[in-house]
Structure 1
Amino acid sequence: MRLVWFRNDLRLADNPALRSCCGNAGADEEPVAALFVISPTQWRQHKMAPIRQRFILAQVDALGLELATLGIELHLLRVETFAEVPAALASLCRELGVTRLYANQAIELDEQRRDGAVTAALAEQEVSCHWLNGCCVLPPGRVLTGSREMFKVFTPFSRAWLKALDEDGFVIHRAPAPRGDSLPWQPLAERAFVDEALGETTPDPHWPVGEAEALRRLHAFLDQGVLDYGETRDFPAMAGTSVLSPYLAAGIISPRQCVAALQQRLGGRPQSKAQPGFVWLNELIWREFYRHLLVLVPGLSMNRPFKPETAALPWSWDPDAFAAWCEGRTGYPIVDAAMRCLNATGWMHNRLRMIVASFLTKDLHIHWRLGEDYFMSKLIDGDLAANNGGWQWAAGTGADAAPYFRVFNPTTQGQRFDPQGEFVRTWVTELIDVPEPYLHQPHEWLRAKGRDGYPAPMVDHGKARLVAIDMFRHLEKP
């Protein structure tokens, strides 16, 4: 018996672990089973958002049904923490008579340690473990500098990544063929281990699960939005992005599928900003950059800054200021709208993520770790590599050329990217009737009307910006 262990790769198509496990064997060859491990306590320790957990479990349900139609049974193990996984998995392997385990490589440190312990435990039973790259187009470690080190700045990484992809190429593998008669599948909601601690398992109507839905979104974006992406992606009131991030984070679609579909749509792979479609491809490369960093710089999984000297920054941990930011009570309309949107929907537009992260770290001078954790606790697309990378980029502690003086002005950002105030009015209803010229600085207009339902700005941005820059200037360089 061969066993394939699904993790953040909840798909049949372009799944290296599943394909390697099934191989080219027919139904009369060595049987195949599948596994998903549910770890509620560990998920909470990793700040997994309830909406993300619900999304993942709904996809596991859909995946189990799809596998059952192929004659492959999906086994579910519930263990509270990763520490319990090796013993539980070893017991399942004994029960099923497993001789080989296949899984796609995990990139987070706790998950890598778990997998190392699994390898050791299964070796005692003479079960071989096979770890494959299913999370990136190019495996971590493939794109390095001439001195065999990880790139510390994105742009040269992007150029090297494109060159490596030209050299290596890639193949999209289809879902495996049926391996026997269709099997029954019991929905998660009917199982005894689904309890209040585990939470809801039915899909959120705003985020349908399934590979077909992920592919539908991908092709709709490529048909309708990718050519204008560079002009529309920064405006949160517009449908200018692919909205694929939850599906990529859960592995319902692979980054290789995205690149392949883009190439097919354009008749080739764009190589520079001057070519249509490159701006979106570059976003996929950013995703690769942060995932490679997470593997090659383990400290990123341990709450450490990428730039060691920035550990000495005198960050604030002010709980009242942090709560105002979390709840959208900062007095800066674009920040408040973004945070209220996140709290209500579990998703935030990328431009808004940069604005609110800059505000927390550079205006309120609050430690980026608090923001990183809060995002993970709310986002349906919560992903350690992308979330940590984005927060450290905004905070000035991450992989960037010279970020300490980059401080977003929340007022001008709102004026530039929500000029009519459509997004702000949707989420900050106190400002719904404020005239457009005053919307992003509404306080004088509100005072003139005798209205006090919207908070005054928490800080003076100009002064807070200078404090943030001084924080970095006074750091001792290594």
Structure 2
Amino acid sequence: MSTALHWFRNDLRIADNPGLTKACDTSSHVIGVYCICEKQMQQHGEGSRRFKFILDNLTVLKAQLADLNIPLIILDSKTFEGAVEDIVQMVDELSIESLCFNVEYPINERLRDKLLCEQLEKSASVSVHRLVDQSLIHPAKVLNGSGQPYKVFTPFKKACISMLAEYDLMLDPTPKQQSEINDNKLNKLLTQSDELIKHYQNQLAANSQSDCKIAAGEVAAEQALNKFIGGALQYYPQQRDIPSDAGTSQLSPYLAVGVLSVKQCWLKARQIRNESTSEKAINTWCDELIWRDFYRYVMWHQPTVCKHNPFQAWTDKVQWTDNNTHFQRWCEGKTGIPIVDAGMRQMNETGWMHNRVRMIVASFLCKNLLADWRKGEAYFMQQLVDADFPSNNGGWQWSASVGTDAAPYFRVFNPMLQAERFDPEGEYIKRWVPELAKVDKRILHKENLKKRHSHSLDYPEPIVDLKATRQAAIDAFKEAK
């Protein structure tokens, strides 16, 4: 009887998993494998919260797969090179005839897969199947009239929507129970897998920064999706920028590690056109899903952005400052700018930050502090449970005015005006910056709030002057250009 191996990466689910479905279609026996690459994660700057969330989801996935008679082997590969060696060894030792995996778009992942395929080409006994899972449409298929990749979001979005209208977009079928595998070598690997997960969970338990309160598994992800679709989505265009409200989907952690697919989100939203949810609301959220695809698309067609390079090459000439004191104050949420401090403290405590606030704190770091955007990008990767390299990189390049479709360099967010517009009552600020709990909302969004407040405040003065630093940033970009 033939045996197929599905290599799980950022696709920790059973439903709508093209690679897993293919493995089940091609063979009577199916084995799953996941390679923990701790050293590689450290090199990529991924934090312990994301790792903890991955382990939690692996535990759930392993039990789900066992019900389908699909054993999930977890290997301690350390690096991508080690993962390739481990997969090649598994293919040989377990007589694998078919290897399936879903393609990833960053450059190191692509090089890893290229190396694996080259290694397996030496063996005539295994066929390799690479499937599309990370985006609604594979980036190679979305090109302009000249056969070139799009460099601006709006025409990319229009092309995607047009193509999706022509496709019969469907979820991949959920695998049925497979034939049971009885193999002593496999059983030993399963026992080692359980021990490996416990080892890393115990290691993370000693790290307070690895705490993650998000429920793991596909059931939890589906419940969160259904809750959003049936509730907050109808108010999404009005509420998505209000950080004190639960107006966003908050599905990013599940999407980041593939417990939920972008296709599941897209189709679920498209299926609920009715009187209670407007077309505008559905389209606004679906646009955000396409933005997520776009940052993956950029990475596929211009992989230099994976190597700490800006999309707009000339912006690498911007003379960023190197004020470590300012950067540390930003990291700690002690800048004296309430909305910035609220956002940073929310992320430091929970591993998540509201998207509007992400843009505000990023703009403040890059424009008002004139700090290199790559420092902020790295800090977010360390802290966020939903750390997703393409989205994080694309978002930071946008905020810093160095990426594709970037905000023009002369457009600088005023964090005080942003707070006044999106947190007028100060609910969000006062939740995360309790020192300001008794400050009147009429002065909360003023730079000189300490002077205006009638009592002393245990809160810092702004570390920079917003107007002066705005002009300094504009001048720095002008000089570089």
TM-score by length of 1: 0.93
Who is 2:218 aligned against? 211
**Residue 70 of structure 1 contacts residue 179 of structure 1 at CA under 8 Å; is this kept in 2?**
yes
**Residue 117 of structure 2 contacts residue 128 of structure 2 at CA under 8 Å; is this kept in 1?**
yes
Residue 315 and residue 251 in structure 1: after superposition, are their counterparts in 2 closer, same or farther (change >3 A)?
same
C-alpha distance in 2, partners of 1:31/1:12?
Answer: 16
Name the structure where helix makes up a greater proportion of residues. Answer: 2
C-alpha distance in 1, partners of 2:291/2:249?
Answer: 15
Who is 1:221 aligned against? 228
* Structure 2 residue matching 1:265: 3-state secondary structure: coil
The alpha carbon displacement at 1:323 in A equals 0.4
* Structure 1 residue matching 2:101: 3-state secondary structure: strand
Q: 1:337-348 residue pairs with structure 2 within 5 A? A: 337-348=342-353
**Residue 212 of structure 2 contacts residue 385 of structure 2 at CA under 8 Å; is this kept in 1?**
no
- The number of residue pairs the alignment matches comes to 469
**Residue 61 of structure 1 contacts residue 187 of structure 1 at CA under 8 Å; is this kept in 2?**
no
Who is 1:169 aligned against? 168
Q: 1:121-270 residue pairs with structure 2 within 5 A? A: 121-126=119-124, 127-181=126-180, 190-191=195-196, 194-195=199-200, 199-200=204-205, 206-266=213-273
**Residue 119 of structure 1 contacts residue 128 of structure 1 at CA under 8 Å; is this kept in 2?**
no
C-alpha distance in 2, partners of 1:274/1:264?
Answer: 11
Establish whether residue 39 from structure 1 lines up as the match of residue 37 from structure 2: yes
C-alpha distance in 2, partners of 1:201/1:187?
Answer: 22
Who is 1:412 aligned against? 417
Residue 180 and residue 356 in structure 1: after superposition, are their counterparts in 2 closer, same or farther (change >3 A)?
same
Who is 1:306 aligned against? 311
Ranges in structure 2 where 5+ consecutive residues have no aligned partner = none
C-alpha distance in 1, partners of 2:61/2:201?
Answer: 22
**Residue 40 of structure 1 contacts residue 198 of structure 1 at CA under 8 Å; is this kept in 2?**
no
Q: 1:120 is aligned with what amino acid?
A: E
The alpha carbon displacement at 1:172 in A equals 0.6
Identity %: 40
The alpha carbon displacement at 1:75 in A equals 0.9
The alpha carbon displacement at 1:258 in A equals 0.6
TM-score by length of 2: 0.92
C-alpha distance in 2, partners of 1:84/1:182?
Answer: 26
* Structure 2 residue matching 1:94: 3-state secondary structure: helix
**Residue 447 of structure 2 contacts residue 462 of structure 2 at CA under 8 Å; is this kept in 1?**
no
C-alpha distance in 1, partners of 2:239/2:373?
Answer: 28
Match of 1:8 among 7, 10, 20: 10
**Residue 228 of structure 2 contacts residue 249 of structure 2 at CA under 8 Å; is this kept in 1?**
yes
**Residue 78 of structure 1 contacts residue 193 of structure 1 at CA under 8 Å; is this kept in 2?**
no
How far does the alpha carbon of each residue in 1:97-122 deviate from its partner, in whole angstroms, 9 at most, with x for none?
Answer: 11221000011111111111111112
**Residue 376 of structure 1 contacts residue 387 of structure 1 at CA under 8 Å; is this kept in 2?**
yes
**Residue 262 of structure 1 contacts residue 277 of structure 1 at CA under 8 Å; is this kept in 2?**
yes
C-alpha distance in 2, partners of 1:427/1:267?
Answer: 37
Residue 192 and residue 21 in structure 1: after superposition, are their counterparts in 2 closer, same or farther (change >3 A)?
closer
Match of 2:81 among 80, 83, 106: 83
**Residue 188 of structure 1 contacts residue 201 of structure 1 at CA under 8 Å; is this kept in 2?**
no
* Structure 2 residue matching 1:141: 3-state secondary structure: helix
The alpha carbon displacement at 1:335 in A equals 0.1
Who is 1:375 aligned against? 380
Who is 1:54 aligned against? 52
The alpha carbon displacement at 1:12 in A equals 0.5
Q: 1:318 is aligned with what amino acid?
A: N
Ranges in structure 1 where 5+ consecutive residues have no aligned partner = none
* Structure 1 residue matching 2:6: 3-state secondary structure: strand
Who is 2:405 aligned against? 400
**Farther off after superposition, 169-178 or 259-268:** 259-268
Who is 2:459 aligned against? 454
C-alpha distance in 1, partners of 2:239/2:7?
Answer: 39
**Residue 364 of structure 2 contacts residue 415 of structure 2 at CA under 8 Å; is this kept in 1?**
yes
The alpha carbon displacement at 1:474 in A equals 2.3
Q: 2:68 is aligned with what amino acid?
A: L
* Structure 2 residue matching 1:34: 3-state secondary structure: strand
How far does the alpha carbon of each residue in 1:166-191 deviate from its partner, in whole angstroms, 9 at most, with x for none?
Answer: 12231112310001359997696644
How far does the alpha carbon of each residue in 1:326-349 deviate from its partner, in whole angstroms, 9 at most, with x for none?
Answer: 000111000000001100000000
**Residue 40 of structure 1 contacts residue 197 of structure 1 at CA under 8 Å; is this kept in 2?**
no
**Residue 290 of structure 1 contacts residue 389 of structure 1 at CA under 8 Å; is this kept in 2?**
yes
**Residue 74 of structure 2 contacts residue 193 of structure 2 at CA under 8 Å; is this kept in 1?**
no
**Residue 153 of structure 1 contacts residue 401 of structure 1 at CA under 8 Å; is this kept in 2?**
no
The alpha carbon displacement at 1:275 in A equals 3.1
**Farther off after superposition, 442-451 or 209-218:** 442-451
Who is 1:329 aligned against? 334
**Farther off after superposition, 181-190 or 281-290:** 181-190
